[in-house]
Chains A and B, each alone.
Chain A
């Protein structure tokens, strides 16, 4: 098995390269994705090797990126659009929500929009405003879109290829502060034998409480579980991976065993993914619960100035504090 140690960003880069190699209809488009290789270098070297018709530097307008990608998809292409930062996706919101999401439905299944919208999301990199947001709930709330997020290099490599191969329109959220974190990646494993794209996974088995996260918060929760273990508490950490549709079977199994659940995300709590997950756990696992499902999230403020973002973002201590509270019920 040819495993390599790669950063999450490099794993995405290789996954994109494979997608371009495997299907001539795949095109990458976005701002600065060509010569520059993207501001995070996720598309580094791809235009050089595949040409400027496959890796397209677009004009600077996000609605234009998504809207023209819709037309390319109708023409038979499989566009992979990069939105440079989470906070810049909103000019494209109409095209994503009203056009990309609904085209298959409105056409009675006659048109498919096999588009991937890559968005580096979340905070923790000391950025200025509009560069650290977590917009996943807007998209997960929209019928016709699927939403996923990867948390480690192996998943990044596999999931980006699966997303591109899927005929569903997919918002692909990349945990930008984890781009530089390394992990083992099996580059030869056949995609067909990988887990399905829309499936959650147990990232760390445990017995005492279930901690749910996705994207950048998976690492935080794994660290929290390590710290909890030193205190004699055995946390199960589940990486949701898919936010729409949610894959909660593994979550229900876990919560029925542990009786306790904490949902962790960077996005604000009000009407966020945590609320949906808590409601669904309550509906399915009511008699197993030893405490209410708790949420550890960003606050219901605009994303704050970078010098206080570490206080805004859920961290190891806030996760453990919530776990403690589930035991204090």
Chain B
């Protein structure tokens, strides 16, 4: 599975029935793949929903490939920042399953509103992974077309995009695009820190009273830069949904299968006109908030080690090995692809040209402005006055 939709596109050989434990997991934390890589057949949520996945072997391998590629590209971006090629990088390390699981759960017609860390979702949407590096290198402010890829621009002001997602989802309803399999759904990404923002709470209110076809997808990575979850909330985040009048559920955000199942279910509910819901993807930011941060100042090594044992990729690999869905050759091939894509990313980042200074005047207004025309002309003349200079 490369860029496709695992639920709908692949109709290959189904994974052979195996002697899975017919267990019902903890409804307080939907999990379909344990940290040791053991499959849980299904989990029944508090409202009776049965969460399960029905992937082919090829689809399982595809998810693994996504996870590895996303991690490798992220690591390359971190390295590029360390070498001075990016001004900043916000690593997704540790959150690959939350992003790939939810990103692959989106159908082609669904619209996503990310924060600035959703590189894995961006990848799943088919956007060239070079795109966000332009923003962090400082040569542009994003670059992809949000409407073409159904993936809005990164939003750095915390929580602001949840209102945009809500308004967009209201527009979906106004366009009559809910109801049925081809209905449209919207997903809003945000973090645990954002849940303290007024905008997020306003988005909850709006989505609820307008019954917007929207999934609030909160990656609870336990920290808002240095501040732990306890500084944001006294109740589990997913329970906040009840107060706003829509369902909330917590999923193991390091479990790509459970995240996929829960997100797909919520999106399908939304597209069928059943309104919004909140998913709390319980995960951990293994790295720093950004490359400007030093997490050793506010968290202890043993905590990080405990989460290391819940790694989102290792458990999929263990599962694939145990079930003999993939062999050593496959893992080596994926690693080699990741290496090649990282090299390619690096080469292209180094070739990104700096923008011409006068382009800072572009696109301020769709209809332009005489004041800006004047300033641009004056600035151009000023630059030209340095005859023979680098300008």
Contact = CB atoms under 8 A, between A and B. Distances in A.
Contact of B167 (A53, A75, A108): A75
A71 B140 contact: no
B276 to A, nearest CB: 13
Contacts of A53: 174
B258 interface: no
B366 interface: yes
B202 A61 contact: yes
Contact of B206 (A59, A74, A245): A59
A59 B205 contact: yes
Contacts of A293: none
B363 A109 contact: yes
Interface in A87-112: 91, 94-95, 98-99, 103-112
A69 interface: yes
A71 B365 contact: no
Contacts of A79: 167
Contacts of B126: none
A193 to B, nearest CB: 18
B145 A168 contact: no
A59 to B, nearest CB: 5
B157 A98 contact: yes
Interface stretch (B17-25, B26-34, B158-166, B293-301): B158-166
A268 B170 CA distance: 39
A67 interface: yes
A115 B153 CA distance: 19
Interface residues of B, number: 43
Query: Interface residue tally of chain A, by bracket?
Result: 35 or more
Interface string B164-177: 11111111101100
Contacts of B141: 105-108
A59 B202 CA distance: 9
Interface centre among B166, B170, B209 (most CB of A within 10 A): B170
A68 B142 contact: no
A166 B146 CA distance: 22
B306 interface: no
Interface string A76-89: 11010000000000
Nearest to B186: A71
A103 to B, nearest CB: 8
Contacts of A77: 171, 174
A129 interface: no
Contact of B367 (A27, A68, A76, A166): A166
B146 A110 contact: yes
A4 interface: no
A321 interface: no
A277 to B, nearest CB: 13
The 3 closest A-B pairs by CB, nearest first: A71-B167, A67-B163, A75-B171
Interface of B: 113, 140-143, 145-147, 152-153, 155, 157, 160, 162-172, 174-175, 198-199, 202-203, 205-206, 209, 362-367, 369-372
Interface of A: 27, 53, 58-59, 61, 63-64, 66-77, 79, 91, 94-95, 98-99, 103-112, 114, 143-144, 146, 166-168, 244-247
29 contacts: A27-B174, A61-B198, A63-B202, A64-B205, A66-B163, A67-B160, A67-B162, A71-B168, A71-B169, A72-B168, A72-B170, A72-B171, A74-B152, A76-B171, A99-B164, A105-B364, A106-B141, A107-B142, A109-B363, A110-B145, A111-B146, A111-B147, A111-B153, A167-B366, A167-B367, A168-B365, A245-B371, A246-B371, A247-B370
